[in-house]
Amino acid sequence: AQTVTQSQPEMSVQEAETVTLSCTYDTSENNYYLFWYKQPPSRQMILVIRQEAYKQQNATENRFSVNFQKAAKSFSLKISDSQLGDTAMYFCAFMKPRGTYKYIFGTGTRLKVLA
Amino acid sequence: DAGITQSPRYKITETGRQVTLMCHQTWSHSYMFWYRQDLGHGLRLIYYSAAADITDKGEVPDGYVVSRSKTENFPLTLESATRSQTSVYFCASGMYTEAFFGQGTRLTVV
């Protein structure tokens, strides 16, 4: 069974600084997808970024980028130029695109951006 | 409006009562999911559905029942609510590129 581990329950960063959130996962699959979701205080789950395992290139979405290390089964999220609106819970998720399409989530990292 | 909606947003119920949480999506996604979110556990999968009339258990299915008679609806029923089922419940629909979530239902069992 696949597992997703986020070892940082809470983090903080100064506004305009850069922060990296860690995520590791365990799977025997070769083809899969990885995601970072943001959950602000509104509780809404928002997709931040998606990585396809067969792609070598790290995904980037504006200030958000990932460091995908397939062999190490590591998928960290880097937030550059942190903004107060980035304050949220961040969840890492794994999905195997065969069969059930289940999304397996980590326990989350609560990020606070400080003014 | 297109999207995925859950109702109610908030619910307080008593131990032993039956409660149904509703979920409706307008995209005609085949796959739908129910998760519960608890501090320290992240989102845990309760049940999922690959299509109408096809459902299967997730990680924490005990005490819950689902049905999916229509593609767009995926209700979750707590047959006899217990305090341990106090949680925030999320419905989602999706495909391999993204899972789309409802706004969540905060359920309190007293």
For the stretch A15-30, pLDDT in tens is: 999 999 999 999 998 8
Distance from CA of B50 to the nearest CA of A (A): 7
Q: What pLDDT does A72 receive? A: 95
**Among candidates B58, B88, B95 on the partner chain, residue whose Cβ is nearest the Cβ of A101:** B95
Nearest CA in chain B to A43: B103
Helix (H) or strand (E) holding B80: none
Mean pLDDT across chain A: 94
Q: Which uninterrupted H or E stretch holds A51?
A: strand A46-52
Q: Are strands A74-79 and B99-101 parallel, antiparallel or unpaired?
A: unpaired
Q: Which residues of A touch B92 (CB under 8 A)?
A: 45, 103
What is the distance between the alpha carbons of residues A26 and A6, in angstroms, rounded to a whole number? 12
Number of CB atoms found within 10 A of residue B64's CB = 19
What distance in Å separates residue A75's CA from the closest CA in chain B?
17
Planar angle of CA A49, B55, A53, nearest 5 degrees: 25
pLDDT above 90 for A65: yes
Going by pLDDT thresholds of 50, 70 and 90, the confidence category of residue B95 is: confident
Q: Does B11 touch chain A (CB under 8 A)?
A: no
Q: Do A101 and B31 touch (CB under 8 A)?
A: yes
A56 Cβ neighbours under 8 A, 6+ residues apart: none
Residue among A96, A39, A1, A86 at smallest CA distance from B102? A39
To the nearest whole angstrom, how far is the Cα of B31 from the nearest Cα of chain A? 8
B61 in contact with A at a CB cutoff of 8 Å? no
Alpha-carbon distance of A82 to B27, in angstroms, equals: 33
Q: Does residue B1 have a pLDDT over 80?
A: no
pLDDT grade, residue B2 (50/70/90)?
Answer: low
Reported as a pLDDT band with limits 50, 70 and 90, residue B25 is very high
* H-assigned helices in chain B: none
Local confidence band at A52 (pLDDT 50, 70, 90 cut-offs): very high
What angle is formed at CA A78 by the lines to CA A77 and CA A80, rounded to 5 degrees?
150
Are the C-beta atoms of B31 and A101 separated by less than 8 Å?
yes
B98 interface with A at CB cutoff 8 Å: yes
Q: What local confidence, expressed as pLDDT, does residue A56 receive?
A: 84
Using a CB-CB cut-off of 8 Å, the residues of chain B touching A107 are 40-42
Q: What is residue A102's predicted lDDT score, i.e. its pLDDT?
A: 85
Average pLDDT score over chain B: 94
| A107, pLDDT greater than 80 | yes
- pLDDT tens digits, one per residue of B55-94: 999 999 999 999 999 999 999 999 999 999 999 999 999 8
Residues B44, A105: C-beta atoms closer than 8 Å: yes
The answer to whether A32 and A53 are in contact (CB under 8 A) is: yes
Residue B16, pLDDT above cutoff 80: yes
**B101-110 mean pLDDT:** 97
Closest-approach residue (CA) in chain A for B38: A107
Give the separation between CA A50 and CA A10, rounded to whole angstroms: 22
